[in-house]
Amino acid sequence: MKYDYLVVGAGLFGAAFAHEMKKKGKTCLVIDKRSHIGGNVYTEETEGIQVHKYGAHIFHTSNKEIWEYVNQFAKFNNYINSPVAFYKDELYNLPFNMNTFSKLWNIRTPEEARAKIAEQISELGITEPKNLEEQALSLVGRDVYEKLIKGYTEKQWGRDCKELPAFIIKRLPLRFTYDNNYFNDRYQGIPIGGYAKLVERMLQGIEVRLSTDFFQLKDVEYEKLVFTGQIDEYYRYQFGALQYRSVYFETEKYDCENLQGNAVINYTEREVPYTRIIEHKHFEFGTQPVTIISREYSMEWRPGVEPYYPVNNQENNALYEKYLELAEKEENVIFGGRLGQYKYYDMDKVLKAALEAAGRE
Ligand code: FAD
Ligand code: UDP
């Protein structure tokens, strides 16, 4: 049989694309080299707790259509992400808000906080921020940068803050209210029953082959290919390898009900080797007698480990452009998702891109 589409990757991009094409009467074969569907959003139930196997995933969006789209496949709970930062025995609320500023400077009003930040910014003389360090300093001043940003960012990206693009830090809200919601988006939550169930519903009625690597696939005929793996690998690294950050998760079970009191605690000092600890049950207000945590260690990607984050600095973006030029000449290959488009996409943006790609078909 000849499929209309071979979809490489059973993550959100691949699953949404296949779902849409099936609705249009097309045949799809979805493959993934991993032994499960879902890609990086995959969750696995252990001791009644949904464990986010590839890091904490909180769905958030301001796009009503995308929110309604995911809600077809799962009901979402009302979890609001409010991580806490731990720096040298002190706890600070995130994102940067009045709770953070009041703890840092023992102040109370937005006016005092603004004045403090303005004073620190004026000493720096940055007019147009050229990198993450300058961007962070010119937004929040030196104290927040040094305690809550510098160490965490350098661990997370393995690079000096001066060598990183400014947009990364703009992901985080900055506000002068006592509001610890990590996101500014209109809609937020975690799918009840886990992400694996959600993706399973997206892929209902679609043929899926797991533990199947595209580069070893034989005897499958198809009209078009949808590729959500690494674009540089697809082209056999012919212009050189793009850089990615990988993550190593150390997961442990504890015989207590509540270990850290929050779903996410960031460790913002350089000296602590991990970036954050996730206590999975808090994403779904779990009351099990045990708890499961994961420490997240960031490392540079190399063949053999999972790529997670594209490193979108100038060098890599220029290299990606070369691959993109090849991709744009392809008539029967669509590149999608975080790895296929080399973009620091959140889940809602990946879904939007997949729906657009399906729409173009
Ligand atoms: P993926 O999920 O990576 O899927 C690609 C799939 O392709 C993988 O399963 C892979 O095994 C498969 N594949 C690759 N190459 C091959 C091959 N050669 N053959 C067969 N299969 C192949 N987003 C949010 O909105 N909120 C969050 O809170 C959030 N937290 C995150 C935390 C972490 C630690 C990370 C890394 C990401 C987070 N994200 C979050 C982003 C989110 O994970 C992505 O937007 C989304 O999962 C990307 O989906 P995708 O389909 O593009 O890629
Ligand atoms: N960041 C930071 N301190 C924190 C949390 C985040 O400096 O306590 C910076 C860091 O550079 C990180 C970026 O903000 O890569 C984006 O954070 P986000 O939580 O969105 O990262 P993700 O969940 O995608 O890993």
- Percent of the chain past pLDDT 70, that is, above it, reads 100
- The answer to whether 345 and 337 have CB atoms below 8 angstroms apart is yes
Query: What token pair was written down for 39?
Result: 């890609």
Assign 3-state DSSP to the chain and report helix, strand, coil percentages, each to 5: 35, 20, 40
pLDDT, position 125: 85
| Among the listed residues 225, 213, 320, the one whose alpha carbon sits nearest the alpha carbon of residue 14 | 225
H or E, element range at 86 = strand 84-87
Q: Which of 134, 154, 232, 346 is catalytic?
A: 346
pLDDT, one tens digit per residue, over 118-142 is 999 998 888 889 999 999 999 999 9
Across 138-150, average pLDDT: 96
Q: Is the pTM of this model over 0.95?
A: yes
pLDDT class for 319, splitting at 50, 70, 90?
A: very high
pLDDT, one tens digit per residue, over 15-25 is 999 999 999 99
- Percent of the chain past pLDDT 90, that is, above it, reads 98
H or E, element range at 352 = helix 347-360
Distance 360 CA to ligand 1 centre (A): 22
pLDDT, position 124: 87
Across 142-162, average pLDDT: 97
Active site residue 186: no
Closest ligand 1 atom to Cα of 57: 28
Residues, the chain? 361
Active site residue 171: yes
Across 331-353, average pLDDT: 98
pLDDT, one tens digit per residue, over 24-82 is 999 999 999 999 999 999 999 999 999 999 999 999 999 999 999 999 999 999 999 99
Distance 196 CA to ligand 2 centre (A): 25
pLDDT class for 206, splitting at 50, 70, 90?
A: very high
For 121, residues 6+ apart whose C-beta sits below 8 A from its C-beta are 137, 138, 141
Cis amide prior to 95 (ω within 30 degrees):
yes
Whether the pLDDT of residue 360 is over 90: the answer is yes
Residue owning the nearest CA to atom 12 of ligand 1? 9
Active site residue 296: yes
Q: Which of 32, 134, 232, 296 is catalytic?
A: 296
pLDDT, position 127: 86
Mean pLDDT of the chain: 97
Residue owning the nearest CA to atom 14 of ligand 1? 229
